[in-house]
Structures are given as structure tokens and as C-alpha cells.
Amino acid sequence: MRASKIIPVLVLLIIASTGFADAQCKAFAKSECLPKLSGYTHDGNYHAAVLMEGEEAELYKTFYSDMDYRVSIVGDEKLPSVEFRVLDADRNVLYTNKDKNYASTWDFKLQSSQQLKFIIKVTSSSNHSSGDAPASGCVAIMFGFKLN
């Protein structure tokens, strides 16, 4: 009887918390990711998701010649480092922030317009031996541009 009361409540709480976490990503993106585009005009697009340790997201976008770009990719402080790689249409890796101490921004410009692919991965922390659940939190991706 008691279990039959508790289970539905727990399930509904989980659903509610998932929606709440999503809604929190907008506030997180605005407060933590957007300021890192300082000096650039944010394009106005919004890309954010709740990811767990070890999970990946991908983003496809066309970038244009004659523009300077900055990408800002920021993860919630509960998460380990967020790694991102940038690939061209032939899947050649053009940049990885792993070599830059997981820097959250990258400035770039293009000689000719290209479609690029961003692979964003929340790294896994090594201290799960105690059985802790993997951390999850918002990861926001934003682009700024200016004419060069």
C-alpha cells in the first residue's frame, strides 16, 4: 500500500525535475556561457542540453568567410571538464580544446565558408569507485561573430 503510493510520486518528481533541469539550462547559458562572447555579437541561437559524464553532443553549423567567430562551450560546475573537437566535412580534426587545458572558448575565422561539426563530450571523472552516480548538468554552446 505504502509502496504503491510512493512509486507514482517518485516517478512524477523525476519527470518534474527533468523539465526543471532543462528550464535551468537557459538561465545557465545566459549567466555562464553568453558573457564569454564578450566583444562578439551573439547570433541569437540557443543550444543547451543536460548531459551526463561520458555523454556526447554534436552540432552542425555553416560558418562564413570574412567573419570572425568565437564559440563558447561551458558545462555546469558539477561536471568534469567539457572537451570539444571541431571537424571539417572530411572529418579531419581542426581543433581540440584538450590541448588547451579544456579552454571554454575558441576564436577562429575562415578563408572560405565551411560546414563544421562540433563534437562536445563531458569527460568522465575517475572517482566513481565508491559507487557515486555520474554527475549530470547543463552544457551550453553559443556562437558570436563580428565582421573582420
Partner 1 sequence: MNKIFRIGSGILVVMSLFIMLCSGCRGGKKSEQEVIRVDMVDKTAILEDIEKAERVFQALPSPLESAMLIKSSGAGFDQKLLNPVSNANNYVTSKSMALNLGIYTCDLSYASLYEQTQLLIDYMEAAKKMADGLGILRAIEQKNIDELEQNINNSEVIMKIVSETFMNSNSYLEENDQPATASMVLLGGWIEGLYLSTKLVNMNNFDGNKLVSRIIDQKLSIDILLNLLSGSKGNPAIDELISEVTKLKIVFDKIRLDTSPVRPVYDEASEATILRSEVKTDMTPEVFSELAALASEIRNSFVK
Query: Which stretch in 72-80, 82-90, 127-135 sits in contact with partner 1 by CB under 8 A?
Result: 82-90
Q: With binding defined as CB under 8 A, does residue 89 bind partner 1?
A: yes
CA distance 21 to 16: 9
Residues ≥6 apart with Cβ < 8 Å to 144: 37, 39, 40, 41, 42, 43, 69, 70, 71, 72
Q: How far apart are CA 80 and CA 92, in angstroms?
A: 26
Asked if 114 is part of the footprint of partner 1 (rule: CB under 8 A), the reply reads yes
Query: Residue 131, interface with partner 1 (CB under 8 A)?
Result: no
61 scored as a contact of partner 1 (CB under 8 A): yes
DSSP-assigned letters across all residues of 52-67: ETT-EEEEEEEE-TTE
Asked whether position 133 contacts partner 1 by CB under 8 A, the answer is no
Distance CA 89, CA 73 (A): 21
C-alpha separations of 99 from 74, 85, 94 in Å: 17, 10, 12
Q: C-alpha grid cell for residue 26?
A: 537557459
Least distance in angstroms from the C-beta of 70 to partner 1: 8
Q: Quick one: which of 36, 57, 79, 137 contacts partner 1 (CB under 8 A)?
A: 57
What part of residues 28-47 is at the interface with partner 1 (CB under 8 A)?
29-30, 41-47
Are 95 and 85 contacting, i.e. CB atoms less than 8 angstroms apart? Answer: yes
| 110 contacts partner 1 (rule: CB under 8 A) | yes
Of the pair 81, 114, the CB lying nearest partner 1 is at 114
Which residues in this chain contact partner 1 in the complex, by CB under 8 A?
Answer: 1, 4-5, 7-8, 11-12, 14-15, 18-19, 22-23, 25-26, 29-30, 41-49, 51-52, 55-62, 64, 66-68, 88-92, 94-95, 106-115, 117, 119, 141, 143, 145, 147
